[in-house]
Amino acid sequence: MGAEQLTALGRQEKLFITAEASWATFVKPVPTDAIDHNSPVSLSYSQERAERMSKQPDTRSLMTTDLVTRRKELSWSIPCDIIPSGTAGTPPDVHLLLLAAFGAYTNTPGVSDVYILDNSQQLPSVQITREVSNLQMNVHQGSWVDEVVMSWSGAEEGTFQFSGGSKDEIHTFRANSGSTVGGNTFIVLSLARYDDHFEENSVVAILQADGTLDSNAGVGYRVLNVNTLTHTLTVDAIVVAAHANRPIVPFSPTKTVVGTPVTGIVGTLSIGGRNYRVISCSITLNNGTKALNDEFGYDGVSDYLMGPRRITGSIQFRMYEESVALYPDAKAFTRAALLLTSGSLVAGGTQVIASLPNIEIEPFNIDAPETEEVVVDATFRALASTAETEMVLSFL
């Protein structure tokens, strides 16, 4: 802790991605829902407060009665390394995010996990839980993946950048003092101001005097009700022990993750069957999601629709002799397959392959600097030869 105040520390941030049985229905996260991630993770919540445009003949001030509550808006963004599980046929920790982005998935035990595109209007949703230092926790419910950016570079690890929207949020913050008598499902908060630290479906634990947590055998106590008259939390399991004036803290399970990041020193990239030396490659899958947040009777998103999908990308490379062929191909709108292999050149649990059977590179500029070598940035679009065939992402 700091000299006077407990502080939420970024290095203690934990992130869990949980499957939803139905849209925006709360589920307690479990250890294997955890993912390794980078910074900054963003879970954004806002609610519009519009100025009431009424005439005020007696004042030029904006009065306290002149703000009108409108809809909620939630968005999120998660950066993370590309990390295969290390075991062929075992999906990566970010499986649920990839499934929500691509829409379909094939598992061959002991061999591969393959993410393919889907035409369904019912792409899976997920629940995102972020907990920091047993001090704060935010849960986004009914979250969808609008976009994922996949990046590979010779200088850095491969990365995913997932982003999208959500239906609702649950917040939980530490209360410094609460008590239980033992043998019932009630936690009594010592101060009224702690009431709004919790919401229905907050998950909490009780910090004991010896520094350990009473966490309901490692799954946490889910808050079923917050009574603001008696300042009492009703939870989903019996609190066996009596606790007197102990901190009530946000709870998340122990983080369990597997795998090692894909590095930039092993891999190949080919276009039209020919290998090219590249500095970096980036592929963006955008689902064209439309959040329905304008329907009468709802305070936020009532549903979401999947619009036209677009897969685009970019390649940065030095203008070697071998690279010259890409220029006339771009001018002629020649289409070719792009195959990017990373992690390992052989299958065995650490190989990741992005396959785009039909890309079209857009004509690009070749600018020669005064002293440095020529470096080109080329962009491309992925096209489908038949429906939903623009891209396949495989973990082998």
So what's the pLDDT on residue 66?
74
pLDDT confidence bin for 224, thresholds 50/70/90:
very high
The pLDDT mean for the chain works out to: 94
Which pair of structure tokens corresponds to residue 9? 């520390």
Which pair of structure tokens corresponds to residue 119? 């035409």
So what's the pLDDT on residue 342?
97
Which pair of structure tokens corresponds to residue 226? 């917050």
pLDDT confidence bin for 387, thresholds 50/70/90:
confident
**What average pLDDT does the segment 246-273 reach?**
96
Tokens 């009492």, located at residue: 232
Higher pLDDT, 122 or 279: 279
pLDDT confidence bin for 18, thresholds 50/70/90:
very high
Cα distance between residue 36 and residue 30, in whole Å: 15
So what's the pLDDT on residue 217?
96
So what's the pLDDT on residue 363?
96
Cα distance between residue 379 and residue 389, in whole Å: 19
Q: Give yes or no for residue 40 having a pLDDT over 90.
A: no
For the segment 133-189, what is each residue's pLDDT rounded down to a tens digit?
999 999 999 999 999 999 999 999 999 999 999 999 999 999 999 999 999 999 999
Q: Give yes or no for residue 310 having a pLDDT over 70.
A: yes
Structural domain boundaries in the chain: 274-395
Q: Give yes or no for residue 12 having a pLDDT over 60.
A: yes
* CATH dotted code for 274-395: 2.30.110
Task: Find out whether 75 and 42 touch, Cβ atoms under 8 Å.
Answer: yes
Q: Give yes or no for residue 83 having a pLDDT over 90.
A: yes
Compute how many other C-beta atoms are within 10 angstroms of the C-beta atom of residue 125: 22
pLDDT confidence bin for 3, thresholds 50/70/90:
low
So what's the pLDDT on residue 68?
85
So what's the pLDDT on residue 5?
80
So what's the pLDDT on residue 182?
94
pLDDT confidence bin for 385, thresholds 50/70/90:
confident
Query: Which CB contacts under 8 angstroms, 24+ apart, belong to 328-333?
Result: 329/272, 329/361, 330/361, 330/362, 330/363, 330/364, 330/378, 331/363, 333/360
DSSP H helical segments within 241-334, as ranges? 326-331
pLDDT confidence bin for 56, thresholds 50/70/90:
low
So what's the pLDDT on residue 51?
82
pTM over 0.85: yes
Q: Give yes or no for residue 61 having a pLDDT over 80.
A: no
**What average pLDDT does the segment 42-69 reach?**
80
Q: What's the burial of 110, exposed, middle or buried (CB within 10 Å: 0-12/13-18/19+)?
A: exposed
So what's the pLDDT on residue 2?
56
Which pair of structure tokens corresponds to residue 241? 């022990």
So what's the pLDDT on residue 195?
98
Task: Supply the DSSP string of 27-78, one letter for each residue.
Answer: ----GGGB----S--EEEEEEEEEE-----TT-SS--TT-EEEEEEEEEEEE
Looking at 15-24, 120-129, 146-155, 163-172, which range is the least confident one?
120-129
Task: Supply the DSSP string of 146-183, one letter for each residue.
Answer: EEEEEEEESSS--EEEEEEE-SEEEEEE-EEEEEE-SS
Cα distance between residue 80 and residue 96, in whole Å: 14
Q: What's the burial of 332, exposed, middle or buried (CB within 10 Å: 0-12/13-18/19+)?
A: exposed
